Structure 1
Amino acid sequence: MEKNSLSKVKISTENRYELSKVVREFVDYSDWGYRENEGNYSSERAQSNTYITGKKKSSVTSSIFIGGLHFGWNFNQFWGGKKLWSKGFVDSGDVNIVYDRSVESQKELRVEKHIEGSQSQVFATISLGPQSPTDAQIEKIVSNFWEFEDQISDSKKEIQDEISYKNQFSNILLDSKNIIFRGAPGTGKTYLANEIAADIVSEGRSTETKDLTNEEKSRIGFVQFHPSYDYTDFVEGLRPKINDNGSMGFELQDGVFKKFVSRAQENFDNSQKSKEDIQKEASAEEKMDAFFESIEFGVDTFSTINGSKFSITGIDDRHISIDVPGNKISDKVSLNIHELQSMLAADQNFKKVKDVNVFFGKPHGTQQYSYDLALYKKIKIRSTRSTLPTVPPKKKNFVFIIDEINRGEISKIFGELFFAIDPGYRGTAGGILTHYANLHDNPESKFSIPKNVYIIGTMNDIDRSVDSFDFAMRRRFRFIQIRADQRLEMLSILDEKIREKAIRCMKSLNKEILKIEGLNENYYIGAAYFLKLKKLSFNELWTDYLQPLLQDYVRGMYNEVGIMKNFEDVYQNACSDTLGQASDIDDSAEN
């Protein structure tokens, strides 16, 4: 047997042992919780227990790494209902080991793949009857897990291998989900982030944003953090608006990141749907479009089952605004346009408001449902055109760039999103209630970040805010240092002689910087500064850009004047034979 094969067997054996230990403790913990609480969940008892891998349990999740996979375990009401201990998961993101005791006489251990919006794909099942699983049964289900996980990993690798990315960091981002480029000023971190984003959304076709289609460009998001940036800018918040009557009011609006994630989520969800579901939704959308085109806003009236008259005053991407003159409490009502579309796409015939309540899982209806039902009946009877899509859209990657990520107050900007952006909790498993959840159409709906969203941050190591960069955020990003001499290829747009002298000047300055006590490679001068030579002379570059930067570096130091004189001498000596105007060359690669 080859050395690599022996190593794989050894690693696999260690993984099986470690995961079997976790599942054993998880099962025992579940049994204890169910027995002690008679099937009902007790947060006090859960949080006081130190079961799985010796870590203190919480009411939500804990985690551990085994064999390069991030495992979490949880008991969640989404799956278990009121008897929260009756169903739990040990999961690695794609594949779950499920201990299902929802029927005590028919317990099961399963290996399954969770598919958002659809029934899970079951790979293996061990029926336990009324008994708890033995060690042998746990070892068997763990073996099934690794077999299934290997199949999925191989499938992923085959798909990824089909795409040859041009940038060396593209696959690193795809594997890590979140990365931050750190380094000295002017090292091309922002430009590199844009290259990677273009590489990924174009599937390796180009690293230049100018080569992308409009659709591909729409899958790249960009924001630059600053000290005044906050949660309401990034996630969601209240924004002023002018009401129809001219008065001032406020409305909840999504921030730049949430809007971006919503587009990615829509693509991800649609890619998981069947051809039939896509056809039904397209049909519903066409019927709605035809209906809204045929009516006159504010003039045509409609009636609910109870005879309440109303008219439609406007629509947008998310809401239908209606006017109800006879409503003494509120004559302005906003309907969720997606809920109406869901009703039209469903294989159901809604006759009463109660039917709508049941469809949306609401024990008690809302005022809006009576208007939804009235519009549903009007739109349902319309015929549709035959130009319907028959194939679900392909799942596509979305890349969000956060420039100068450390200049913002991270905890104030991300809030509860710390959990949702964790690579191990992407998708519904990492769903969270946002700060303004009580103002949503459905206050119980959770916001999550799908697996097709990738985040790139950039930061300068010498920025004074680096020291306060949130440690909770640090754990969720992979940090990659970009050195000053690592991106010299960006100078290829310069004339050859100027490029050679620019590199010599940069290296000479950086060598001198390293001699100063208190300075290190984080204070190096990056190549992006020298791209300005397309329009400036070396003297102008020194007086207008490099000298002020270096002055900030050494301000307050002993012999500040002498240090600056040395910097200038080194620069002038290195660049002495290249002084003068440089040729006019495209500066598109500047950071």
Structure 2
Amino acid sequence: MAIPSKLTPNDIFEALKYIDENGIPDKNKSREYALVSESGIKYPPKYVVAVAHHLSTGDDIDTSTYNAVEAKNFLRGLGFMIEQNQEKFELVITADNVTSTDERFTMNNLSLGDNYKPLNAYFKKSNGEKINRKRDKGERKSSNQTMPRIACQVFERQLAELSVEEKENFPVCRYSLNSEIIKGIFPSVAVFKQHRNTIEYVVYNYGDGRQFVFYCWNIFSTIIFVQECIKRFGDAGDEFVLTYREKDKKEREQPEVQNEISDETQDFNGYLNPYSDALIESKNIIFRGAPGTGKSYLAKEIAADIISNGYFDDYTLLTDEQKKQVEFVQLHPSYDYSDFVEGLRPRVNDDGSMSFQLEDGIFTKFVKRAQKNYDDANRSREDIEKQNSAIDVLNEYFSNIEFGIDELSLARGTKFYITSVDEEHIHVSIPDNPTIKSLNINKNELLSMIESGQDFNRPKDVTEFFEKQNATQAYSYDLAIFKDLKSKNINAKKTEVAQESVKPFIFIIDEINRAEISKVLGELFFSIDPGYRGSAGEVSTQYASLHENPDKKFSIPENVYIIGTMNDIDRSVDSFDFAMRRRFRFIEIKAEDRLEMLESLGDELKEKAITRMEALNNEISNVDELNENYYIGASYFLKLSTLTFDQLWTDHLLPLIQDYVRGMYDEEGILKKFARAYGYPSIAGDVDENIKG
């Protein structure tokens, strides 16, 4: 059985009643999606569809022939509210016990940890003090290794004082009661591999080049280790706390990356990224700094973090619907107001002639999406249902219209034809009109008329409805289409909707200083100000006189957040507009701030990359005319996944730093020092020859 397409919304409502009375079997509870009823109750989509089919046909309740995504899409198609489950769990480890808010957790099957992703971990002392992981170079915010690293950090002295024999017999992991206890804390990776030849290990550096190396794989694999640390070295009441969630399907398909993360030295506040709070607080931020520090990637991480409410920070894991809450634009010197806000664009008319029409720019389109969400969240459920019904009626009407063929007429007898419909307009052709052969009708006006439930018989009725003193030409066409629609007796679908919540919408402006910002934003300087969001920041745009409603002003709602990125040393642009500077919070991203990007290179290559990067940057800072704004960021070294260190130097780094020093005294000597610091190559003669080239 595939999805039973003949099911109706009423069948689904009956299924929900059945489930309310009979409950949901444990095997049918959904971990990924939930149908949310008007009263806020959540139901598993697959089971809802199966029950609806059972009630309508008498067949057995069977969910085996379709998946959760198919059930989700089917129910959304019927107008039901579906949300993705994003449940977080908390695991508490004491000397005597391990408990989790996830009822599926069991100490007898720690391999289940493969299915979960860590969000945060900390050590809580018996007196209530919390200790987070102190971040090392290249560590991320959270990983499978965060909890054991905290244990090593807290009990470093006690672990170091253990004898070699005690370390080698230290319990680390036991996946089940029937499996072996994995033991051993070793002084190096080489010694570790003599006992267990695997890549599944954690390395903790301490002292003067000393190490603890021991087995670690999934987030549960070191529970035994940290519990043993509390038993031996802790006080009564000490505990480790791990917050985690179930992995997304895409995450389950990806290989696990070790040495990912370290916790920030602050309490978990709901978001994974510390900069997310900065954006929420300030509304407008700009990441500035040296090239290659991962500012653009960081902006997308923050967007994913905020939109998922701290559930993940991988932009690719956002759903298609969630991605509509993010927009990305990269500015360049020729970018202007018409691209960003609005402008006149050429249009080919139905008769083949050319004309210009006003079109929204990328930012205006984005703001309208955010404004709709903000408005819907402040409307009653009944109003939203009326709006959805009106949309259904209008869409049904247009689906039965043969564009350019079906004839309509005004009250005075003028014939016209609907030629096309887009998101905002109904385009009509008026062949017999001697002056105006085409017209664009505001689609939202017609929707408002349908939604009102009123009757409209005269142009005056429409004028009064829109509270205007004089009728516009478009009102006559609104009335004619409205009457034709009513004559077809189209019945709206009865759909249940959930009260919408205000969602964050994040607009990313990459290379924000590469265009003339005053030219791009125009009069929006005022509206962008965090203190003038909403009606307080309304402005008339340059093309207001061409709007369908010239009196309507532009504003930016409270749920819009803006992230800009810029390289301070970009010589292709002038200084950033001072009027704009005070409307943004500027956050410097230094070269060493984003070393976690290099995790994908593996431990050995990552360490070599960091060493060379730091040596090169130190040499750059020794040049009087240069400073840390000219440092080389970690993203350049990601190219080492396909290039050698020498190729990275000759093909990417050398051309950049040659531009840095062009025109300086002893340019060649400076480049030699840079090459030696970087380590390219070991023969001085080759260095000289390559630099001259």
- TM-score, structure 1 as length reference: 0.68
In 2, Cα distance between equivalents of 1:502 and 1:254:
45
Counterpart of 2:391, as a letter, is: E
Offset of residue 401 of structure 1: 0.6
The residue that corresponds to 2:337 in the other structure is 231
In 1, Cα distance between equivalents of 2:574 and 2:515:
12
In 1, Cα distance between equivalents of 2:538 and 2:681:
56
In 2, Cα distance between equivalents of 1:230 and 1:197:
25
Offset of residue 434 of structure 1: 1.3
Within 5 Å, give how 1:254-273 maps onto structure 2. 254-273=360-379
The residue that corresponds to 1:332 in the other structure is 438
Conserved in 2, the CA contact under 8 Å of 1:324 and 1:332? yes
Offset of residue 488 of structure 1: 0.8
Offset of residue 209 of structure 1: 1.4
Residues 328-361 of structure 1, C-alpha deviations (whole Å, 9 max, x = no match): 2213122111001011112533232122112222
Q: 1:480 aligns with which of 587, 591, 604?
A: 587
Conserved in 2, the CA contact under 8 Å of 1:282 and 1:389? no
Alignment partner of 1:433 is 2:540? yes
Task: Call closer, same or farther: CA 1:347–1:407 in 2, change over 3 Å.
Answer: same
Q: 2:272 aligns with which of 159, 163, 166?
A: 166
The residue that corresponds to 1:175 in the other structure is 281
Question: How many residues in Structure 1 have an aligned counterpart in Structure 2?
Answer: 416
Task: Call closer, same or farther: CA 1:316–1:467 in 2, change over 3 Å.
Answer: closer
Unaligned runs of 5+ in 2: 1-266, 684-693
Within 5 Å, give how 1:81-480 maps onto structure 2. 164-380=270-486, 382-464=489-571, 468-480=575-587
Task: Call closer, same or farther: CA 1:163–1:350 in 2, change over 3 Å.
Answer: farther
- Tell me the secondary structure at the aligned position of residue 179 of structure 1: strand
Offset of residue 547 of structure 1: 1.1
In 2, Cα distance between equivalents of 1:378 and 1:162:
58
In 2, Cα distance between equivalents of 1:358 and 1:499:
70
Offset of residue 279 of structure 1: 1.6
Conserved in 1, the CA contact under 8 Å of 2:396 and 2:490? no
In 2, Cα distance between equivalents of 1:282 and 1:515:
65
In 2, Cα distance between equivalents of 1:308 and 1:242:
24
Task: Call closer, same or farther: CA 1:249–1:575 in 2, change over 3 Å.
Answer: farther
In 1, Cα distance between equivalents of 2:351 and 2:460:
34
Offset of residue 297 of structure 1: 1.9
Conserved in 2, the CA contact under 8 Å of 1:501 and 1:574? no
Could you say which structure has the higher helix fraction? 1
The residue that corresponds to 1:523 in the other structure is 630
Task: Call closer, same or farther: CA 1:246–1:304 in 2, change over 3 Å.
Answer: closer
Unaligned runs of 5+ in 1: 1-160, 577-591
Offset of residue 550 of structure 1: 1.0
**Aligned alpha-carbon RMSD (Å):** 1.9
Residues 146-167 of structure 1, C-alpha deviations (whole Å, 9 max, x = no match): xxxxxxxxxxxxxxx9971111
In 2, Cα distance between equivalents of 1:306 and 1:162:
68
Residues 377-414 of structure 1, C-alpha deviations (whole Å, 9 max, x = no match): 23245342433233332221111111100001100100
Counterpart of 1:506, as a letter, is: M
Residues 298-338 of structure 1, C-alpha deviations (whole Å, 9 max, x = no match): 22222322233322222111111222333222131221110
Residues 515-546 of structure 1, C-alpha deviations (whole Å, 9 max, x = no match): 10111111111111111111111111111111
Conserved in 1, the CA contact under 8 Å of 2:286 and 2:566? yes
Counterpart of 2:414, as a letter, is: S
Conserved in 2, the CA contact under 8 Å of 1:504 and 1:574? no
In 2, Cα distance between equivalents of 1:420 and 1:455:
12
Counterpart of 2:606, as a letter, is: R
The residue that corresponds to 1:51 in the other structure is none
Within 5 Å, give how 1:24-103 maps onto structure 2. none
In 2, Cα distance between equivalents of 1:575 and 1:332:
74
Conserved in 2, the CA contact under 8 Å of 1:163 and 1:203? no
Query: Which moves more between the two structures, 472-481 or 196-205?
Result: 196-205
In 2, Cα distance between equivalents of 1:356 and 1:385:
22
Offset of residue 467 of structure 1: 5.0
Conserved in 2, the CA contact under 8 Å of 1:197 and 1:207? yes
In 2, Cα distance between equivalents of 1:320 and 1:383:
19
Counterpart of 1:371, as a letter, is: Y
In 2, Cα distance between equivalents of 1:300 and 1:379:
13
Conserved in 2, the CA contact under 8 Å of 1:278 and 1:391? no
Conserved in 2, the CA contact under 8 Å of 1:505 and 1:575? no
In 1, Cα distance between equivalents of 2:268 and 2:668:
58
Offset of residue 572 of structure 1: 1.2
Counterpart of 2:329, as a letter, is: V
Within 5 Å, give how 1:538-557 maps onto structure 2. 538-557=645-664
- Tell me the secondary structure at the aligned position of residue 593 of structure 2: coil
- Tell me the secondary structure at the aligned position of residue 509 of structure 1: helix
Residues 241-283 of structure 1, C-alpha deviations (whole Å, 9 max, x = no match): 2222222222211111111111111111111111121121112
Counterpart of 2:368, as a letter, is: S
Percent of aligned positions that are identical: 57
Conserved in 2, the CA contact under 8 Å of 1:235 and 1:256? yes
In 1, Cα distance between equivalents of 2:595 and 2:338:
39
Conserved in 1, the CA contact under 8 Å of 2:287 and 2:295? yes
- Tell me the secondary structure at the aligned position of residue 677 of structure 2: helix
Conserved in 1, the CA contact under 8 Å of 2:370 and 2:505? yes
Offset of residue 574 of structure 1: 10
- Tell me the secondary structure at the aligned position of residue 468 of structure 1: coil
Task: Call closer, same or farther: CA 1:575–1:276 in 2, change over 3 Å.
Answer: farther
In 2, Cα distance between equivalents of 1:181 and 1:325:
55
Task: Call closer, same or farther: CA 1:212–1:163 in 2, change over 3 Å.
Answer: farther
In 2, Cα distance between equivalents of 1:344 and 1:385:
11
- Tell me the secondary structure at the aligned position of residue 506 of structure 2: strand
Offset of residue 551 of structure 1: 0.7
In 2, Cα distance between equivalents of 1:343 and 1:199:
40
